[in-house]
Every structure is written in C-alpha cells, then in structure tokens.
Amino acid sequence: MSKKLVAYFSASGVTGKVAKTLASAIHADLFQIEPATPYTDADLNWNDPQSRSSVEMRDKTSRPQVKNKVETMEDYDTIFVGFPIWWYVAPTIINTFLEQYDLTGKKVIPFATSGSSGMGNTNAELRGSCSGALLCEGQRFASSIGADTLKAWADSF
Ligand SMILES: Cc1cc2nc3c(=O)[nH]c(=O)nc-3n(C[C@H](O)[C@H](O)[C@H](O)COP(=O)(O)O)c2cc1C
C-alpha cells in the first residue's frame, strides 16, 4: 500500500479547506506547512510592492522559513502539496518546504486554489526544489470543490 501525505500552506484558509477534504477523501495524513513568521494581512497585500509577499515573490531565491517539519517523510511515497497561487506560481515557502527533504523516488503532486489563475509556471519554479522526485502536473481547484472530485483526481496518479 502506498502511503500518502497531503501537505499544505494556506494564508487565509481556502487551500486549507481543500487540503482537509482531499486528505480525508483519500485517507492520507495531513500536514500544515506553518511559516515561522505568520503572514499578516499587510504582508499579503499584493497591491503594495513593498509588502512581504510582494518582496518575497519578486525574489525567486527567497526562502521564507517553515516552523515545523514532517518527521517521517521517508514513510510517504506520494506527497500532495497544496498552496494558494501567488503571482501565478507557488509561494516560495513551498520551495523551502520541499528543500527540507530527500524526495528521491517520491511522487510530488501540486494542487492549488486561486482567485482565477491556473497553475501557470508553478512546476518550473518547483522542479529544482524536489530533485529526484517525480513532479507531476498539478491542478488548481475552486474553493467549493467536492470530496468525490478530489478523490477521482488523486486516484488518477
Ligand atoms: C500575495 C498574493 C498573490 C496572489 N496572486 C494571485 C494570482 O496570481 N492569481 C490568482 O488567481 N490569485 C492570486 N491570489 C489569490 C489567492 O490565490 C487566493 O485567494 C487563494 O485561494 C488563497 O488561498 P489561502 O486562503 O489558502 O491562502 C493571490 C493572493 C495573494 C495573497
């Protein structure tokens, strides 16, 4: 039996809700990627070029620190990684998260929520952070996505 993990970062709860539905639909373990410094509303203001998220997302080498760690990553062979789309890609804290582990031979499957954007260039930005893993083409979901649709999608990998 393959063991699955759903790991997610969610700044305002939307991706968190989808991640929880997914994990419960496929009987996967759930892990919340917590920033060492939580994002405030001001940090998330994309209209402000000086806000924390704007500054981080302009610098593709930024690696916001993660507070917590999956202690038994070696147990998992399939990792669903969820996040909000920020500036058409994954927040750079997802790079930080992936780079903490040896993901060789594991399947990494991104999923996201967004205002309307699709996955865009997400995988191009994530590939270097999960070398040795099979990085699958992910999917953006509406916040209202149901458990059955999520399960059918997850089972297709
Ligand atoms: C800094 C920032 C950048 C964003 N950039 C995009 C974007 O490029 N395209 C889009 O459709 N939505 C964008 N959004 C909206 C989020 O992707 C959307 O609200 C998401 O569902 C939030 O998920 P969360 O509650 O899990 O953080 C952005 C939000 C923030 C805070």
The answer to whether residue 2 scores a pLDDT higher than 80 is no
Which 3 state secondary structure label does DSSP give 97? helix
Q: In the chain, which ranges are E strands?
A: 4-8, 29-32, 78-84, 107-113, 134-135, 139-140
CA 10 to ligand 1: nearest atom: 26
The answer to whether residue 136 scores a pLDDT higher than 80 is yes
Nearest CA to ligand 1 atom 16: 114
The answer to whether residue 37 scores a pLDDT higher than 80 is yes
Which long-range contacts does 44-47 make (Cβ < 8 Å, 24+ apart)? 44/11, 44/12, 46/86, 46/87
pTM over 0.95: yes
Nearest CA to ligand 1 atom 20: 114
Q: Given pLDDT bands bounded at 50, 70 and 90, which one contains residue 1? A: low
* Ligand 1 neighbours (beta carbon < 6 A): 10-16, 44, 46, 53, 84-88, 113-117
